[in-house]
Amino acid sequence: MSAPTPEPAPSTSPLDNAAPAKLNNPGDLIAAAPHLMGYYPIDALVVNIIVGTTVEMTMCCDLPLDTLPESLTGHLATIVTRYPDALVIGVVVGGGTPVGHTLPRDILVTRLRDAISGHNASLNMFWTPAITAGARWYDYDNPSHAGTVPDPKTTVLAVQAAVQGQRTLDSRADLAALLRPDPQDVLARRATVIKTLLTRPGRRRSASHSYRLVIEQVQRTPERSEALSDHDIAALAVALTDYTVRDACIATATGEHAHAAEQLWTELTRQCPAPQRAEPAALLAMSAYLRGNGGLASLALDRAQTAFPGHRLTRLLRAALDSHMPPDTLRPLVHQAAQDAKRMGLTEPS
């Protein structure tokens, strides 16, 4: 059986004024995990790296059958070394039931503790059957130290996510379904429309025209109730194949249109045929990465890579995600995209 891959969910979400409670009460941090990841983990190992009062990194992987493979524990330990004096809080979700004072997957916890020891990091490990209101949590160091998980839907992070229009899905499968491509016959129909747009005489449009077309759709997205037509999808797909336009759209990952842009990229990732799907999928990955949703970013990159093997922006973002680079390290790319768009005269519709 292959080793489970830790799914990175880089986060810079501060614990704000509730920080002392969150750091002192494991139940609060456990309840916050779904909103850091974008979905509720089931039978999973969740590892949070905390510096001060900030969750700098959240990682998740499916529970292996017995213990953690050496490659995975070594990978986790390597990441911890990048955060000197960090507090590492791990949570085993599910994976069995307690037997007496022995918690499920205690061998896994010992393996992880051994890997991280010596890296100047403090590790606390907890177990809960599920991340749901009223579930009990237990401390691996002292199983008699236990408590109750508060309602995850009422945490500070849940409120922040709701205000920002972000959804926390019930499972990773639901997250994957969010990007499931439309039926093949529908994609083939749209591919025909795209081919027509690409090959018709005089079809070449300026980057400025194509950019305005895309941004107009971004601005319409929050209020639009109807689905995009095949022609709309094809026109947007063609516009984004101009890398000048695609790169300028990276700037939408921050600012007033960030949520609307992410909604549009999500739709187009489902709706565009290959290879054009790679462009909105890569833009979605950038947006998700910057707001700390590594799970969605990873799935979007999978869609982009499948649609267009060797896609350059996808390779860049995959390297960043796999090396667990903090989201802030990508912000200069967004700033540069905005500057380049301005320099080339690519402006938003008024």
Q: Which parts of the chain have pLDDT scores under 70?
A: 1-24, 65-68, 120, 162-165, 202-204, 350
pLDDT, position 295: 82
Verify that 21 and 128 share a domain, yes or no.
Answer: yes
Q: Tell me the C-alpha to C-alpha distance, in Å, between residue 289 and each of 38, 148, 308, 322.
A: 11, 31, 20, 12
Residues 156 and 50 in one domain: yes
Helix axis angle, 258-271 to 294-307, nearest 10°: 40
Note whether 141 and 211 are same-domain residues.
Answer: no
What token pair was written down for 295? Answer: 């799970």
Contacts of 297 (CB under 8 A, 6+ apart): 284, 285, 286, 288, 289, 317, 321
Tell me, what's the pLDDT at 327? Answer: 81
The tens digit of pLDDT for each residue in 118-174 reads 776 778 999 999 999 999 999 999 999 999 999 999 877 777 776 666 778 898 889
Q: Are 21 and 82 contained in the same domain?
A: yes
Distance between CA atoms of residues 102 and 126, nearest Å: 12
What is the spatial distance between Cα 118 and Cα 122, in angstroms, rounded to a whole number? 10
The reply to whether 258 falls in a domain is yes
The verdict on 198 and 154 lying in the same domain is no
What's the full length of the chain, in residues? 350
Q: Per the structure, how many domains does the chain have?
A: 2
- Clarify whether residues 83 and 11 are in a common domain: yes
Instruction: Among 122, 142, 168, give the residue marking a domain's end.
Output: 168
Question: Residue 173: inside a domain, yes or no?
Answer: no
Which residues neighbour 107 within 8 Å (Cβ) at sequence distance 6 or greater?
Answer: 66, 67
2 located within any domain: no
Query: pLDDT value at position 67?
Result: 65
Which two three-digit tokens encode residue 6? 């830790």
Task: Please check whether residue 50 lies inside any domain of the structure.
Answer: yes
Co-location of 277 and 310 in the same domain: yes
Q: How far is CA 312 from CA 53, 64, 305, 343, in A?
A: 36, 33, 10, 23
293, 214: one domain: yes
Predicted pLDDT at 81: 79
334 and 185: one domain?
yes
Residue range of the domain that includes 99: 7-168
- Are 162 and 213 part of one and the same domain? no
Task: Output the pLDDT for position 273.
Answer: 98
pTM of this structure: 0.82
Mark which of 113, 135, 168 sits at the end of a domain.
168
Predicted local distance difference test score (pLDDT) of residue 66: 64
Q: Provide the 3-class DSSP secondary structure of residue 325.
A: coil
In a domain? residue 107: yes
Last residue of a domain, one of 124, 146, 168: 168
Confirm if 280 and 264 have CB atoms less than 8 A apart.
yes
User: Reading across the β-sheet that carries 122-128, which strands appear in turn?
Assistant: 7-14, 54-62, 44-51, 87-93, 122-128, 136-139, 146-148
User: Within this chain, do residues 40 and 78 fall inside the same structural domain, yes or no?
Assistant: yes
Q: What's the rounded Cα separation, in Å, for the pair 128 and 138?
A: 7
* Residue 14 domain flag: yes
Q: What is the pLDDT of residue 181?
A: 96
Q: Are residues 123 and 253 in the same domain?
A: no
